[in-house]
Amino acid sequence: MRRGGLKAREARLAFFMLFPTFAIVLLIVIFPVVADFWIAFKDIKLGDLRPPRAVVIERVKKRPKAPGDELVVAYRVENRTKNPVLSTRFSDPLPPGTSPKALPPGCRVAAGALSCAVPGPKPGERKELVVTLTATEAYFAAGKPNPRRTRPEVESRAKNPLLAKPFTLQNFLRVFKDPEFWPMLKVTLAYTLFGTGLSILLGLFAAQLLAVRFAGRQVLRGLFLFPYVAPVIAVAFVWVFLLDPFSGTLNALLLKYGFIQQPIPFLSQRYFPVHFFGLTLQLPLALTMVILFEGWRYFPFAFLFILARLQAIPTELYEAAKVDGAGVWATFRFVTLPQLAGILATLFLLRFIWTFNKFDDIFLLTGGAAGTETITIKVYDYAFARADLGLGAALAVVLFFILALFLTVYFRYAPKGEV
Amino acid sequence: MRYLLGLVTGAVAAVLVFFSAAFSLALFFGMDAELKLGVALLLGGVLGLLAAAVPPEKERLWPYAVLAALGAVLALPFDPVGLGPLWSALLGALAGLVAGYGLRDLDFASGEVLELLGLRLLRAAGFLVFVFAVVFPFWAMLAASLKPRAEFLQDPANLALPLGKPLRELLEGYRAVLFDYNFLRYIANTAYVAVTTMVLTLVLSVLGAYAVARLDFPGRRLMERAVLLTYMFPAIVLAIPLYAIFTLLGLRDTLSGLVIVYLAQTLPVALYMLRSYFETVPASLEEAGLIDGCSRFEVIWRITLPLSLPALASVGLYVFMIAWNEFLFAFMFLDTPEIFTLSRGMVALNSQEVPYQYLMAGAVIVTVPVMLLFFWFERYLVGGLTAGGVKG
């Protein structure tokens, strides 16, 4: 077999093997990002997701008393959505033993069934179509069936509002004009920076503790990973419970050992005055708690990577340092730290991006209240709490561009071969 | 100098031992413990002086025995944590051991003795703080799930497990959550979603990873990178369009819709992890299989996969964990209570004004399966975590 033929066959096989993964990633990740841009330029509300359609309600206006009398039925065609319907068609079998007497325009009777086509209706518009029938003997013989026993079948034609609405810059203008925009960016940056830094510092410290061999080290390593592998919903609720000002264990402990005189609402107070050498600092309390949670929950991630790296440092380096008379601190500073530089930088970039993207933690802890509203929380707030998908998507686009900036930095500066 | 260091080290060691013991016995076991600081300092000082006189060394371990015995005897009359003679003796002995351990193998003449002692203190404090920070919330979760609100509110700073109660009463929170609030159903739903996601991700990522690792085609590294890049995308950015599209397609309020989203979240990194592993499997084994007339898929099934079982376990566990723990999409997509996953069910529970006992029982129920898996397969899971850098 020729080499070229084999190569082509391999490429084809590879294509088939990779296709499902690509398809899913394309559909669920790439396409939504594109769709985000689309929605961001349109005034789309959550309610627009309901396809616009008309409802038809049938009422009997006049019942016949004797054969030959009129049976008057009114059909109300109504658009209860916020988007226009192009045209509506409905059909409804006539009660047996009736014949049409007067039909509104657009309606006709064929094979014992009434069918009507009307333009519209526009959002909120109602149209009434009055159909007059003549009741015969057969109608009375059938026991005067109520015309409402058969329900009209309705079919509406409408453009999907996601596609139909015009493009606009309004969403972006509103995002940037929101007085909370810049404070929110500041909070996001503080949360990301300090949360990342804290989790890596704690991870570094924990890794140092477990770097030497001792009995029970494996158990401790497993234990230290707990905050990270436990479901976020469980740990977030537990911390909310522990930090509660009325029934929370943490406040009870601080009160019991005399550190505070009054319970502190850790997650719902924006600022907490801290007296420090006669100065009073306004500590952003809820934000600090959220950052501490971030450090607590994600230190195991840094810990795991740093520990793996620590154990890979050749012992000769330490022996050489000892021969040179380096002390504990000097050894850490000039041997360990340089060896960890690569992994620390990578961890910082990675965690920075993920913390920036983080939504669940703050959402479950504070819901974004008390000065903890980050950009992801705001996206949710716009899109779902305020039911304004377009506005949320516009902010998501802004978020995406900031992230793209970070990613560029990441791929440029991340050391090769780490993580 | 030597004895001064011994005095200080011993005092610090004793305070650490007595304080952490008194604090945790009171908090975790509801004991009426207190810390007598003066007694601790005095006792520790004496033990420290002794340890400085005859510090234990690698070849000389008997000072530990002496220190422990002396600690136990000296602590007896003073009752340093106020819990009676047994605890006094036990903790006194422990204080003696810790003081000795802190002063072991020291060259008091060397210039870095202070540095070394400081480091040992830092390590000891570090262990205490980290273990406490990790254990505390999970213990609190368990304790609160076993106590009715009134009982808990009597003293929120007492997290003792009320194990003396009859079992029915003890597990009331679990009974209520599992049966009255339908968590049994949610467990089944979550397990279904997690297992389906795991199986599909494994199948698809094995195929994809094999293609990238073994087959030659243009731009394969670039493709892998592009797939991996999607791993950095924030879920909330995808949430709005996915919500819109899935609503229009009728996929939103379904478990299948959830599985598709989870697949997209786990496939890239699963592909990456398996690809790295497949590259460590010698290609010559597979070539032998190919020459013997196996097809590519037979080679994968009979040679590559059996050799990659550890990697498959890592990836599988990691995917299961992600799917089991996921919150955002479950929260946004699911409206029908019959198909709630545990995360979604917890949110529903939280908004129903139910007692905290039930909520904590729910939290324990969500957490325990992950923890059990984690402990059984820790080796694999750690492998998965480091290889993939589980997103979080």
pLDDT digits (tens, 9 = 90+) for B261-278: 999 989 988 888 888 888
Q: Rounded distance, CA A151 to CA A93, Å?
A: 8
Which strand (E) or helix (H) includes residue A209? Answer: helix A181-209
Q: Which of B27, B210, B233 has its CB closest to that of A17?
A: B210
Establish if A39 belongs to a structural domain. no
CATH code for the domain in which residue A72 is found: 2.60.40.1170
Check A10 against B220: CB less than 8 A apart.
no
Count of CB atoms within 10 A of residue A250's CB? 20
Which pLDDT score, from 0 to 100, does residue B392 have? 46
Q: Which domains are delineated in chain B?
A: 2-146 (no CATH), 176-388 (1.10.3720.10)
Residues A108 and A187 reside in one and the same domain = no
Q: Which residues of A touch B152 (CB under 8 A)?
A: 247
For residue B299, the number of C-alpha atoms closer than 13 Å in the C-beta half-sphere is 21
* Last-in-domain residue among A137, A159, A181: A159
Residues A203 and A76 reside in one and the same domain = no
Q: Rounded distance, CA A387 to CA A84, Å?
A: 20
Q: Which residues contact A60 (CB under 8 A, 6 or more apart)?
A: A71, A72, A73, A74, A146, A147, A148
The β-bridge partners of A77 are: A56, A127
Q: Which of A15, A21, A333, A407 to mutate: most B Cβ within 10 Å?
A: A21
Residues A197 and A297 reside in one and the same domain = yes
Q: Which of A385, A383, A361, A387 is nearest to A374 (CA)?
A: A361
Cα–Cα distance list, B150 to B126, B161, B171, B177, B354 (Å): 35, 15, 16, 18, 14
Q: Which residues of B touch A235 (CB under 8 A)?
A: 137, 363
Asked if pLDDT for residue A107 goes beyond 90, the answer is: no
Q: Which of B131, B140, B240 has its CB closest to that of A223?
A: B131
Q: Which residues of B touch A400 (CB under 8 A)?
A: 237
Q: Which residues of A touch B133 (CB under 8 A)?
A: 296
Task: Indicate the pTM of the whole model.
Answer: 0.88
Give me the amino acid identity at B68: A
Q: How many CB pairs under 8 A join A and B?
A: 273
Which strand (E) or helix (H) includes residue A17? Answer: helix A3-25
Residues A365 and A242 reside in one and the same domain = yes
Establish if A33 belongs to a structural domain. no
Which pLDDT score, from 0 to 100, does residue B76 have? 87
Q: Rounded distance, CA A239 to CA B254, Å?
A: 31
Residues A103 and A182 reside in one and the same domain = no
Residues A251 and A306 reside in one and the same domain = yes
Which pLDDT score, from 0 to 100, does residue A276 have? 77
Radius of gyration of chain A (CA): 34
Interface of A with B in 207-236 (CB under 8 A): 208-209, 218, 220-235
Q: Rounded distance, CA B351 to CA B355, Å?
A: 11
**How far B230 CA sits from the closest chain A CA (Å)?**
7
Check B232 against A39: CB less than 8 A apart.
no
CATH code for the domain in which residue A367 is found: 1.10.3720.10
Q: Distance from CA of residue A408 to its chain's centroid?
A: 24
Residues A149 and A196 reside in one and the same domain = no
Establish if A20 belongs to a structural domain. no
Cα–Cα distance list, B145 to A226, B132, B139, B197, B363 (Å): 19, 20, 10, 30, 9
* Helix runs in B147-234, H state only: 149-154, 167-170, 172-175, 183-214, 220-229
User: Chain A residue with minimal CA distance to B261?
Assistant: A28
Token output for A61: 């206006």
Q: Which of B236, B247, B357 to mutate: most A Cβ within 10 Å?
A: B236
Check A252 against B156: CB less than 8 A apart.
yes
Which pLDDT score, from 0 to 100, does residue A36 have? 92
A18 touches chain B (CB under 8 A): yes
Establish if A10 belongs to a structural domain. no
**How far B125 CA sits from the closest chain A CA (Å)?**
10
Plot region of A2 (φ>0 → left; ψ -120 to 50 → alpha; else → beta): beta
- Beta-sheet strands, E only, within A153-206: 153-157
Establish if A296 belongs to a structural domain. yes
Establish if A316 belongs to a structural domain. yes
Which pLDDT score, from 0 to 100, does residue B94 have? 92
* Last-in-domain residue among A159, A190, A210: A159
- Residue A118, φ and ψ in degrees, nearest 5: -130, 150
ipTM value for the complex: 0.91
Report the range of poorest mean pLDDT among A129-138, A197-206, B217-226. Answer: B217-226
Check B363 against A234: CB less than 8 A apart.
yes
Asked if pLDDT for residue A169 goes beyond 60, the answer is: yes
Token output for A197: 């830094």
Mapped onto helix, strand or coil, the DSSP state of residue A200 is helix
Could you give the angle at the alpha carbon of A343 between the alpha carbons of A338 and A344, nearest 5°? 75
Residues A305 and A401 reside in one and the same domain = yes
Q: Rounded distance, CA A371 to CA B314, Å?
A: 39
Q: Rounded distance, CA A195 to CA A135, Å?
A: 79
Residues A153 and A183 reside in one and the same domain = no
Q: How confident is the model at residue A162 (pLDDT cuts 50, 70, 90)?
A: confident
Count of CB atoms within 10 A of residue B312's CB? 19
Establish if A248 belongs to a structural domain. yes
Report the range of poorest mean pLDDT among A49-58, B117-126, B307-316, B317-326. Answer: A49-58
**How far A314 CA sits from the closest chain B CA (Å)?**
20
CA dihedral of B291, B295, B301, B304, whole degrees rounded to 10: 40
Q: Domain tally for chain A?
A: 2
Q: Which of A223, A238, A308 has its CB closest to that of B141?
A: A238
* Helix runs in chain B, H state only: 2-29, 37-53, 62-78, 85-102, 113-146, 149-154, 167-170, 172-175, 183-214, 220-229, 235-249, 255-278, 283-291, 296-299, 305-307, 309-325, 328-333, 342-350, 356-376, 378-388
Q: Rounded distance, CA B81 to CA B90, Å?
A: 11
Check B233 against A29: CB less than 8 A apart.
yes
Q: Rounded distance, CA B201 to CA B389, Å?
A: 17
Residues A312 and A261 reside in one and the same domain = yes
Contact in structure between B279 and B214 (CB atoms under 8 Å):
no
The domain containing residue A180 runs over which residues? 173-413
A32 touches chain B (CB under 8 A): yes
Q: How confident is the model at residue B53 (pLDDT cuts 50, 70, 90)?
A: confident
Cα–Cα distance list, B231 to A353, B23, B238, B265, B307 (Å): 11, 43, 12, 7, 27
Check B382 against A304: CB less than 8 A apart.
yes
Buried-exposed string B11-47: b where 16+ CB fall within 10 A, e elsewhere = bbbbbbbbbbbbbbbbbbebbebebbeebbbbbbbbb
Establish if A301 belongs to a structural domain. yes
Residues A134 and A183 reside in one and the same domain = no
* Last-in-domain residue among A97, A132, A159: A159
Q: How confident is the model at residue A60 (pLDDT cuts 50, 70, 90)?
A: confident
Residues A193 and A218 reside in one and the same domain = yes
The DSSP call for residue A68 is: T
